[in-house]
Amino acid sequence: TEKTSEVEVCPKCASPSRSVYDRRWVRVKDEPIRQRNVQLHIRKRRFMCKPCNKPFTEPVAGVAKGARTTARYRKAVLASCERFADLTSVQRYLRCSAGYLYKTLYAELERRLRMRTYPWPEVIGIDEHFFRRDRAFRAFVTVIVDMKGKRVFEVAEGKRGADIEAQLTHIPGRENVRWIALDLADAYKTFCKRFFPNAQLVADKFHVLRLLNPAINRARKAITGDRRSLPVRRWLLTSGKKLHREKRWRLLKWLNQHPELNQLYHAKESLHGFYRIRGYGRAKRALTKMCDALALSEVPELQTLRRTLIRWRREILNYFVRRLTNGRTEGFNAKAKLVKRRAYGFRSFRNYRLRLLTACT
Protein backbone atom coordinates (compact mmCIF):
# COMPACT_ATOMS: atom_id res chain seq x y z
CA THR A 1 0.00 0.00 0.00
CA GLU A 2 1.20 3.49 -0.85
CA LYS A 3 -0.33 6.94 -0.50
CA THR A 4 -1.22 8.72 -3.73
CA SER A 5 -1.08 12.34 -2.58
CA GLU A 6 1.10 14.58 -4.73
CA VAL A 7 2.02 17.07 -2.01
CA GLU A 8 3.04 16.58 1.62
CA VAL A 9 3.68 19.25 4.25
CA CYS A 10 6.95 19.54 6.16
CA PRO A 11 6.31 18.98 9.89
CA LYS A 12 8.97 21.56 10.86
CA CYS A 13 8.26 24.59 8.67
CA ALA A 14 4.85 23.64 7.17
CA SER A 15 6.15 24.15 3.62
CA PRO A 16 4.59 21.98 0.87
CA SER A 17 6.90 19.58 -0.91
CA ARG A 18 6.58 17.50 -4.10
CA SER A 19 10.14 16.23 -4.12
CA VAL A 20 10.13 12.45 -3.46
CA TYR A 21 13.62 11.07 -3.16
CA ASP A 22 13.17 7.73 -1.41
CA ARG A 23 10.62 5.02 -0.49
CA ARG A 24 10.71 2.59 2.41
CA TRP A 25 8.58 -0.42 3.31
CA VAL A 26 7.28 -0.59 6.90
CA ARG A 27 5.20 -3.28 8.60
CA VAL A 28 2.45 -2.17 10.97
CA LYS A 29 0.35 -4.49 13.12
CA ASP A 30 -3.42 -3.96 12.80
CA GLU A 31 -6.48 -5.16 14.71
CA PRO A 32 -7.08 -8.93 14.39
CA ILE A 33 -9.92 -10.08 12.13
CA ARG A 34 -11.74 -13.27 13.13
CA GLN A 35 -8.93 -14.11 15.56
CA ARG A 36 -6.32 -13.87 12.81
CA ASN A 37 -3.44 -11.44 12.96
CA VAL A 38 -3.38 -8.64 10.41
CA GLN A 39 -0.18 -6.92 9.34
CA LEU A 40 -0.17 -3.94 6.99
CA HIS A 41 2.72 -3.45 4.56
CA ILE A 42 2.95 0.26 3.83
CA ARG A 43 5.32 1.89 1.39
CA LYS A 44 6.18 5.28 2.88
CA ARG A 45 7.67 8.04 0.78
CA ARG A 46 10.41 10.37 1.96
CA PHE A 47 10.23 13.97 0.81
CA MET A 48 12.87 16.68 0.72
CA CYS A 49 11.87 20.06 2.12
CA LYS A 50 13.73 22.70 0.11
CA PRO A 51 13.34 25.62 2.59
CA CYS A 52 14.65 23.42 5.46
CA ASN A 53 16.94 21.36 3.27
CA LYS A 54 15.97 18.35 5.40
CA PRO A 55 14.09 15.13 4.62
CA PHE A 56 10.85 14.00 6.23
CA THR A 57 8.64 10.93 5.99
CA GLU A 58 5.01 11.31 5.01
CA PRO A 59 2.47 10.60 7.78
CA VAL A 60 -0.12 7.85 7.46
CA ALA A 61 -3.61 8.30 8.91
CA GLY A 62 -4.23 5.99 11.85
CA VAL A 63 -0.54 5.34 12.51
CA ALA A 64 1.35 7.55 14.97
CA LYS A 65 4.87 8.74 14.20
CA GLY A 66 7.36 5.95 14.87
CA ALA A 67 4.60 3.51 15.86
CA ARG A 68 4.47 -0.09 14.69
CA THR A 69 0.79 -0.54 15.50
CA THR A 70 -2.32 1.22 14.21
CA ALA A 71 -4.75 3.24 16.31
CA ARG A 72 -7.29 0.45 15.72
CA TYR A 73 -4.89 -2.05 17.25
CA ARG A 74 -4.40 0.13 20.34
CA LYS A 75 -8.16 0.41 20.77
CA ALA A 76 -8.39 -3.36 20.37
CA VAL A 77 -5.96 -3.68 23.30
CA LEU A 78 -8.34 -1.68 25.51
CA ALA A 79 -11.41 -3.60 24.29
CA SER A 80 -9.67 -6.95 24.85
CA CYS A 81 -8.64 -5.98 28.39
CA GLU A 82 -12.31 -5.29 29.17
CA ARG A 83 -13.39 -8.52 27.49
CA PHE A 84 -10.93 -11.07 28.92
CA ALA A 85 -10.59 -11.96 32.59
CA ASP A 86 -6.78 -11.71 32.72
CA LEU A 87 -4.00 -10.01 30.77
CA THR A 88 -2.37 -13.32 29.86
CA SER A 89 -5.37 -14.14 27.67
CA VAL A 90 -5.16 -10.70 26.07
CA GLN A 91 -1.47 -11.22 25.42
CA ARG A 92 -2.16 -14.58 23.76
CA TYR A 93 -5.02 -13.17 21.66
CA LEU A 94 -3.14 -10.10 20.39
CA ARG A 95 0.32 -11.73 20.35
CA CYS A 96 2.12 -8.87 22.02
CA SER A 97 4.55 -8.53 24.91
CA ALA A 98 3.45 -7.88 28.49
CA GLY A 99 5.38 -4.59 28.56
CA TYR A 100 3.66 -3.30 25.43
CA LEU A 101 0.28 -4.42 26.75
CA TYR A 102 0.61 -2.54 30.05
CA LYS A 103 2.00 0.56 28.37
CA THR A 104 -0.71 0.67 25.71
CA LEU A 105 -3.54 -0.13 28.11
CA TYR A 106 -2.82 2.76 30.47
CA ALA A 107 -2.02 5.14 27.59
CA GLU A 108 -5.42 4.39 26.02
CA LEU A 109 -7.20 4.73 29.36
CA GLU A 110 -5.58 8.12 29.89
CA ARG A 111 -6.46 9.22 26.35
CA ARG A 112 -10.08 8.22 26.89
CA LEU A 113 -10.29 10.09 30.20
CA ARG A 114 -8.71 13.23 28.70
CA MET A 115 -11.72 13.46 26.41
CA ARG A 116 -13.94 13.90 29.46
CA THR A 117 -14.30 17.61 30.19
CA TYR A 118 -17.28 17.52 32.55
CA PRO A 119 -17.72 20.42 34.98
CA TRP A 120 -18.54 19.80 38.62
CA PRO A 121 -22.03 18.25 39.09
CA GLU A 122 -24.70 19.64 41.38
CA VAL A 123 -24.75 16.78 43.91
CA ILE A 124 -21.63 14.84 44.94
CA GLY A 125 -20.52 12.38 47.59
CA ILE A 126 -17.05 12.20 49.17
CA ASP A 127 -15.45 9.26 50.94
CA GLU A 128 -12.03 7.63 51.33
CA HIS A 129 -10.58 4.14 51.16
CA PHE A 130 -7.04 2.75 51.07
CA PHE A 131 -5.55 1.47 47.82
CA ARG A 132 -2.18 0.24 49.10
CA ARG A 133 -1.20 -1.16 52.47
CA ASP A 134 2.34 -1.54 53.76
CA ARG A 135 3.58 -2.68 57.14
CA ALA A 136 4.07 0.84 58.42
CA PHE A 137 1.21 2.78 56.81
CA ARG A 138 -1.83 2.69 54.54
CA ALA A 139 -2.05 4.92 51.47
CA PHE A 140 -5.53 6.44 51.16
CA VAL A 141 -7.40 7.85 48.18
CA THR A 142 -10.43 10.13 48.13
CA VAL A 143 -13.32 9.19 45.85
CA ILE A 144 -15.74 11.84 44.57
CA VAL A 145 -19.02 10.52 43.15
CA ASP A 146 -21.52 12.24 40.87
CA MET A 147 -24.77 11.28 42.60
CA LYS A 148 -27.10 12.12 39.71
CA GLY A 149 -24.78 10.75 37.03
CA LYS A 150 -24.25 7.55 39.08
CA ARG A 151 -20.53 7.41 38.37
CA VAL A 152 -17.18 8.14 39.99
CA PHE A 153 -16.36 11.73 39.06
CA GLU A 154 -12.73 11.90 40.23
CA VAL A 155 -10.19 10.12 42.41
CA ALA A 156 -7.56 12.07 44.39
CA GLU A 157 -4.53 10.76 46.24
CA GLY A 158 -4.53 11.24 50.01
CA LYS A 159 -7.24 12.53 52.32
CA ARG A 160 -5.76 15.83 53.51
CA GLY A 161 -7.63 18.90 52.31
CA ALA A 162 -4.55 20.62 50.85
CA ASP A 163 -3.55 17.51 48.87
CA ILE A 164 -7.05 17.02 47.46
CA GLU A 165 -7.44 20.69 46.55
CA ALA A 166 -4.17 20.70 44.58
CA GLN A 167 -5.43 17.78 42.45
CA LEU A 168 -8.91 19.19 41.78
CA THR A 169 -8.30 22.86 40.97
CA HIS A 170 -8.12 22.20 37.21
CA ILE A 171 -11.77 21.02 37.04
CA PRO A 172 -14.09 23.94 36.13
CA GLY A 173 -17.42 24.85 37.70
CA ARG A 174 -16.98 24.07 41.40
CA GLU A 175 -19.52 26.82 42.12
CA ASN A 176 -22.12 24.48 40.54
CA VAL A 177 -21.96 22.09 43.52
CA ARG A 178 -25.02 22.55 45.74
CA TRP A 179 -25.09 19.44 47.94
CA ILE A 180 -22.33 17.22 49.33
CA ALA A 181 -22.80 13.96 51.25
CA LEU A 182 -19.88 13.07 53.51
CA ASP A 183 -19.03 11.06 56.61
CA LEU A 184 -18.15 12.64 59.95
CA ALA A 185 -14.57 13.57 59.02
CA ASP A 186 -13.47 17.05 60.08
CA ALA A 187 -10.83 17.20 57.32
CA TYR A 188 -13.45 16.72 54.59
CA LYS A 189 -15.80 19.17 56.27
CA THR A 190 -13.15 21.91 56.30
CA PHE A 191 -12.10 21.16 52.73
CA CYS A 192 -15.66 21.21 51.35
CA LYS A 193 -16.54 24.50 53.03
CA ARG A 194 -13.43 26.13 51.58
CA PHE A 195 -13.40 24.56 48.11
CA PHE A 196 -17.15 24.56 47.31
CA PRO A 197 -18.48 28.01 48.29
CA ASN A 198 -22.14 27.39 47.36
CA ALA A 199 -22.52 23.86 48.73
CA GLN A 200 -24.57 22.60 51.67
CA LEU A 201 -23.08 19.64 53.55
CA VAL A 202 -25.14 16.60 54.57
CA ALA A 203 -23.77 14.23 57.22
CA ASP A 204 -24.27 10.63 56.12
CA LYS A 205 -27.13 9.03 58.03
CA PHE A 206 -25.41 5.63 58.27
CA HIS A 207 -22.30 7.08 59.93
CA VAL A 208 -24.39 9.02 62.46
CA LEU A 209 -26.44 5.94 63.37
CA ARG A 210 -23.35 3.84 64.04
CA LEU A 211 -21.61 6.41 66.29
CA LEU A 212 -22.44 4.40 69.42
CA ASN A 213 -21.82 0.91 68.00
CA PRO A 214 -18.16 0.68 69.16
CA ALA A 215 -19.11 1.81 72.68
CA ILE A 216 -21.99 -0.69 72.83
CA ASN A 217 -19.69 -3.50 71.71
CA ARG A 218 -17.07 -2.61 74.33
CA ALA A 219 -19.67 -2.50 77.11
CA ARG A 220 -21.21 -5.79 75.97
CA LYS A 221 -17.79 -7.54 75.83
CA ALA A 222 -17.06 -6.37 79.38
CA ILE A 223 -20.19 -8.26 80.47
CA THR A 224 -20.35 -11.34 78.23
CA GLY A 225 -16.84 -11.57 76.83
CA ASP A 226 -16.11 -11.92 73.15
CA ARG A 227 -18.69 -14.63 72.50
CA ARG A 228 -19.84 -13.96 68.96
CA SER A 229 -22.50 -16.69 69.06
CA LEU A 230 -24.65 -14.86 71.63
CA PRO A 231 -27.86 -13.46 70.03
CA VAL A 232 -27.70 -10.36 72.22
CA ARG A 233 -24.70 -9.24 70.17
CA ARG A 234 -26.92 -8.80 67.10
CA TRP A 235 -29.94 -7.55 68.99
CA LEU A 236 -28.02 -4.65 70.54
CA LEU A 237 -26.94 -3.28 67.15
CA THR A 238 -30.28 -3.84 65.37
CA SER A 239 -32.91 -1.13 65.37
CA GLY A 240 -35.62 -1.90 67.93
CA LYS A 241 -38.31 -1.46 65.25
CA LYS A 242 -36.85 -4.41 63.34
CA LEU A 243 -36.71 -6.76 66.33
CA HIS A 244 -39.49 -9.26 67.00
CA ARG A 245 -41.58 -8.34 70.05
CA GLU A 246 -40.36 -11.33 72.09
CA LYS A 247 -36.68 -10.65 71.28
CA ARG A 248 -37.11 -7.00 72.19
CA TRP A 249 -38.73 -7.93 75.51
CA ARG A 250 -35.88 -10.37 76.35
CA LEU A 251 -33.28 -7.75 75.40
CA LEU A 252 -34.84 -5.01 77.55
CA LYS A 253 -35.12 -7.41 80.49
CA TRP A 254 -31.43 -8.28 80.16
CA LEU A 255 -30.43 -4.59 79.81
CA ASN A 256 -32.17 -3.70 83.08
CA GLN A 257 -29.40 -5.64 84.85
CA HIS A 258 -26.67 -3.48 83.24
CA PRO A 259 -27.42 0.26 83.68
CA GLU A 260 -24.51 1.70 81.66
CA LEU A 261 -25.14 -0.52 78.64
CA ASN A 262 -28.85 0.25 79.02
CA GLN A 263 -28.14 3.97 78.65
CA LEU A 264 -25.98 3.40 75.59
CA TYR A 265 -28.65 1.24 73.96
CA HIS A 266 -31.46 3.72 74.52
CA ALA A 267 -29.29 6.56 73.20
CA LYS A 268 -28.70 4.48 70.07
CA GLU A 269 -32.45 3.90 69.76
CA SER A 270 -33.01 7.66 70.12
CA LEU A 271 -30.76 8.22 67.09
CA HIS A 272 -32.78 5.70 65.07
CA GLY A 273 -36.01 7.37 66.16
CA PHE A 274 -34.59 10.79 65.28
CA TYR A 275 -34.11 9.76 61.63
CA ARG A 276 -37.72 8.57 61.42
CA ILE A 277 -38.94 12.13 62.00
CA ARG A 278 -40.49 14.01 59.08
CA GLY A 279 -39.85 17.73 58.66
CA TYR A 280 -36.91 20.04 59.36
CA GLY A 281 -38.56 21.91 62.26
CA ARG A 282 -39.49 18.75 64.14
CA ALA A 283 -36.01 17.29 63.60
CA LYS A 284 -34.40 20.49 64.88
CA ARG A 285 -36.43 20.40 68.10
CA ALA A 286 -35.83 16.66 68.54
CA LEU A 287 -32.05 17.06 68.14
CA THR A 288 -32.00 19.83 70.76
CA LYS A 289 -34.04 17.68 73.13
CA MET A 290 -31.71 14.71 72.56
CA CYS A 291 -28.59 16.77 73.29
CA ASP A 292 -30.18 18.13 76.49
CA ALA A 293 -30.96 14.58 77.63
CA LEU A 294 -27.42 13.40 76.88
CA ALA A 295 -26.03 16.28 78.97
CA LEU A 296 -27.57 14.68 82.09
CA SER A 297 -25.72 11.39 81.60
CA GLU A 298 -22.43 10.60 83.32
CA VAL A 299 -21.39 7.97 80.75
CA PRO A 300 -18.27 9.32 78.93
CA GLU A 301 -19.31 7.83 75.57
CA LEU A 302 -22.62 9.68 75.70
CA GLN A 303 -20.85 12.96 76.44
CA THR A 304 -18.65 12.34 73.39
CA LEU A 305 -21.77 11.64 71.33
CA ARG A 306 -23.35 14.90 72.50
CA ARG A 307 -20.28 16.92 71.48
CA THR A 308 -20.27 15.24 68.06
CA LEU A 309 -23.95 15.97 67.50
CA ILE A 310 -23.46 19.62 68.46
CA ARG A 311 -20.40 19.99 66.23
CA TRP A 312 -22.20 18.44 63.25
CA ARG A 313 -25.65 19.88 64.03
CA ARG A 314 -26.16 21.81 60.79
CA GLU A 315 -24.93 18.95 58.58
CA ILE A 316 -27.14 16.41 60.38
CA LEU A 317 -30.23 18.61 60.06
CA ASN A 318 -29.55 19.22 56.36
CA TYR A 319 -30.58 15.59 55.81
CA PHE A 320 -34.16 16.68 56.50
CA VAL A 321 -33.91 19.35 53.79
CA ARG A 322 -32.37 17.08 51.15
CA ARG A 323 -32.59 13.39 52.03
CA LEU A 324 -29.14 12.61 50.72
CA THR A 325 -26.92 9.75 51.89
CA ASN A 326 -23.47 8.51 50.93
CA GLY A 327 -24.73 5.03 50.05
CA ARG A 328 -23.79 5.31 46.38
CA THR A 329 -20.24 6.34 47.32
CA GLU A 330 -19.95 3.34 49.65
CA GLY A 331 -21.12 1.15 46.78
CA PHE A 332 -18.34 2.44 44.55
CA ASN A 333 -15.88 1.80 47.40
CA ALA A 334 -16.99 -1.84 47.32
CA LYS A 335 -16.45 -1.89 43.56
CA ALA A 336 -12.97 -0.43 44.08
CA LYS A 337 -12.13 -3.51 46.18
CA LEU A 338 -13.05 -5.70 43.21
CA VAL A 339 -10.81 -3.63 40.92
CA LYS A 340 -7.89 -4.08 43.33
CA ARG A 341 -8.57 -7.78 43.78
CA ARG A 342 -8.71 -8.39 40.04
CA ALA A 343 -5.37 -6.62 39.56
CA TYR A 344 -3.80 -8.25 42.67
CA GLY A 345 -3.22 -4.77 44.09
CA PHE A 346 -1.65 -1.59 42.74
CA ARG A 347 1.63 0.16 43.41
CA SER A 348 1.00 3.17 41.17
CA PHE A 349 -1.78 5.60 42.10
CA ARG A 350 -1.92 6.80 38.48
CA ASN A 351 -2.72 3.30 37.23
CA TYR A 352 -5.23 2.71 40.03
CA ARG A 353 -7.03 5.97 39.25
CA LEU A 354 -7.29 5.13 35.55
CA ARG A 355 -8.65 1.65 36.21
CA LEU A 356 -11.15 2.85 38.84
CA LEU A 357 -12.50 5.73 36.73
CA THR A 358 -12.89 3.39 33.76
CA ALA A 359 -14.67 0.71 35.81
CA CYS A 360 -17.05 3.15 37.54
CA THR A 361 -18.27 5.32 34.65
Helix (H) or strand (E) holding 143: strand 138-146
Q: What is the mean pLDDT of residues 15-38?
A: 87
CB contact set of 25 (below 8 Å; sequence gap of 6+): 41, 42, 43, 44
Q: In whole numbers, what is the pLDDT of the chain averaged over residues?
A: 90
pLDDT of residue 347: 85
DSSP string, 269-312: HHHHHHTT--SHHHHHHHHHHHHHHHHT---HHHHHHHHHHHHT
Distance CA 142, CA 197 (A): 20
User: Could you tell me if 304 and 297 are in contact, meaning their C-beta atoms sit under 8 angstroms apart?
Assistant: no
Helix residue ranges per DSSP H, the chain = 71-83, 87-94, 98-114, 161-168, 186-195, 205-209, 213-224, 231-237, 245-255, 259-274, 280-295, 300-311, 313-317, 327-342, 349-359
pLDDT of 1 above 80: no
Q: What is the pLDDT of residues 28-38, one digit of tens each?
A: 999 888 878 88
Per-residue exposure over 232-242, b if at least 16 CB sit within 10 Å of its own CB, e if not: bbebbbeebee
Distance CA 293, CA 285 (A): 12
Q: What is the mean pLDDT of residues 46-51?
A: 89
Distance CA 129, CA 15 (A): 54
Q: What is the pLDDT of residues 312-342, one digit of tens each?
A: 999 999 999 999 999 999 999 999 999 888 8
Distance CA 295, CA 309 (A): 12
pLDDT of 228 above 90: no
Chain centroid offset of residue 169 CA: 17
CB contact set of 248 (below 8 Å; sequence gap of 6+): 235, 240
Q: What is the CA radius of gyration of the chain?
A: 30
Q: Directed axis angle between helix 98-114 and helix 349-359, to 10°?
A: 60
pLDDT of residue 35: 79
Q: What is the pLDDT of residues 106-144, one digit of tens each?
A: 888 888 888 777 899 999 999 999 888 766 677 899 999
Q: Which amino acid is at 170?
A: H
Q: What is the pLDDT of residues 49-95, one digit of tens each?
A: 888 888 888 888 888 888 889 989 988 888 888 888 778 888 888 88
pLDDT of residue 135: 60
DSSP state of 66: T
Q: Which amino acid is at 189?
A: K
Q: How many CA atoms lie within 13 A of 104 on its CB side?
A: 26
Closest Cα partner for 348 from 103, 164, 22, 90? 103
CB contact set of 226 (below 8 Å; sequence gap of 6+): none
Would strands 16-17 and 200-203 be described as parallel, antiparallel, or unpaired?
Answer: unpaired
Strand order of the sheet with strand 123-133?
151-157, 138-146, 123-133, 179-182, 200-203
Distance CA 19, CA 162 (A): 57
Q: Directed axis angle between helix 245-255 and helix 259-274, to 10°?
A: 140
